[in-house]
């Protein structure tokens, strides 16, 4: 957990709090960024965007915040938790519905979630997980939220929803397209879910962070050709 880093972080450490869906991509790009910035070490904290925002608001020692939705970053901005002018959109994503690769139902659209054979549907808790908010919004637009709410298995973040499907503990799950790639041998993408707003990920330097210069360098790296290449390899699209 992030709070365990307090007291052990050094001056050259750069603490990045990022949405769970970014974990694989960020871990891969870390060595190259550190090589370009000798003496700087990246420390990652991955969780649901809302959880990360709550930690930052309580004074957690964070230098960079990368969220999975605009709403969460907007709240961070309203609370004056970001360095002015540092916010950038760096990737985009899509919401998909997945089922277990083996034994999962065949679904062609959201309406199929109402079938009797679909008993458990995983999604991030809408009150605290951006992917859950996107899913709920899509279901409300299709007038299917009451149907799915009765079958909902809530996850603390999108990766937990993915794990539920990968282990066959649910019949379907709402996750990002990039998450589905992580477990492509254990889950099957049934279809893309249309969302009211495009899923664009913002990143910003945190006000009061100890390493403003390095924080801005990391944000620039995410938008650089090298950073974008790694992110694209994990299924993320240009912002």
**Digit-coded pLDDT (tens) for 159-204:** 999 999 999 999 999 999 999 999 999 999 999 999 999 999 999 9
CATH number of 93-193: 3.40.190.10
Predicted TM-score of the model (pTM): 0.91
pLDDT at 121 over 70: yes
Residue 73 belongs to what H/E stretch? helix 70-78
Q: What is the pLDDT of residues 75-96, one digit of tens each?
A: 999 999 999 999 999 999 999 9
pLDDT band at 5 (very low <50, low <70, confident <90, very high): very low
Q: Does domain 2-92+201-233 have CATH number 3.60.150.10?
A: no
| Residue 202 near residue 66 (C-beta atoms within 8 A) | yes
The more confidently predicted of residues 9 and 156 is 156
pLDDT band at 12 (very low <50, low <70, confident <90, very high): confident
Output DSSP code: residue 153. Answer: E
For the chain, which residues make up each domain, given as ranges? 2-92+201-233, 93-193
Instruction: State how far the Cα of 26 lies from the Cα of 45, in Å rounded to an integer.
Output: 11
Of the candidates 109, 107, 96, the residue with the CA atom closest to the CA atom of residue 158: 96
Which residues does residue 155 pair with via DSSP β-bridges, in sequence order?
Answer: 124
Residue 26 belongs to what H/E stretch? helix 23-36
pLDDT at 9 over 60: no
2-92+201-233 and 93-193 share one fold: yes
**Which conformational region is residue 149 in: left (phi greater than 0), alpha (psi within -120 to 50 degrees), or beta?**
alpha
CA 92 to chain centre: 11
Taking residues 141-160, report their average pLDDT.
98
- CB-based burial, 159-175: b 16+ in 10 Å, e otherwise: bbbbbbbbeeebbbbbb
β-bridge pairing 121-124 and 95-100:
unpaired
What torsion, rounded to 10 degrees, do the Cα atoms 195, 134, 178, 173 define? -110
Of the candidates 180, 19, 156, the residue with the CA atom closest to the CA atom of residue 95: 180
Taking residues 19-36, report their average pLDDT.
97
| Residue 5 near residue 61 (C-beta atoms within 8 A) | yes
pLDDT at 50 over 50: yes
pLDDT of residue 55: 98
């Amino acid at each position: 957990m992030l709070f365990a880093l307090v007291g052990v972080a050094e001056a050259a450490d750069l603490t990045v709090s990022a949405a769970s869906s970014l974990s694989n991509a960020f871990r891969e790009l870390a060595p190259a960024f550190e090589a370009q910035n000798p003496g700087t070490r990246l420390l990652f904290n991955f969780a649901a965007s809302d959880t990360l925002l709550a930690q930052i608001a309580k004074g957690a020692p964070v230098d960079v915040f990368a969220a999975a939705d605009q709403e969460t970053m907007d709240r961070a901005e309203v609370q004056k938790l970001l360095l002015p002018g540092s916010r950038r959109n760096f990737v985009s994503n899509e919401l998909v519905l997945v089922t277990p690769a083996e034994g999962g139902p065949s679904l062609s659209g959201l309406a199929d979630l109402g079938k009797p054979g679909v008993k458990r549907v995983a999604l991030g808790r809408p009150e605290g997980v951006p992917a859950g908010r996107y899913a709920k919004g899509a279901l409300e637009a299709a007038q299917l939220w009451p149907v799915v709410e009765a079958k909902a298995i809530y996850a603390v973040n999108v990766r937990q929803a993915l794990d539920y499907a990968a282990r066959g503990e649910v019949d379907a799950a709402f996750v990002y397209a990039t998450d589905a790639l992580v477990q492509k041998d254990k889950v099957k993408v049934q279809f893309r879910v249309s969302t009211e707003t495009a899923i664009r990920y913002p990143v910003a330097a945190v006000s009061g962070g100890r390493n403003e210069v390095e924080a801005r360098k990391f944000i620039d790296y995410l938008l650089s050709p090298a950073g974008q290449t790694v992110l694209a390899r994990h299924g993320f699209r240009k912002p």
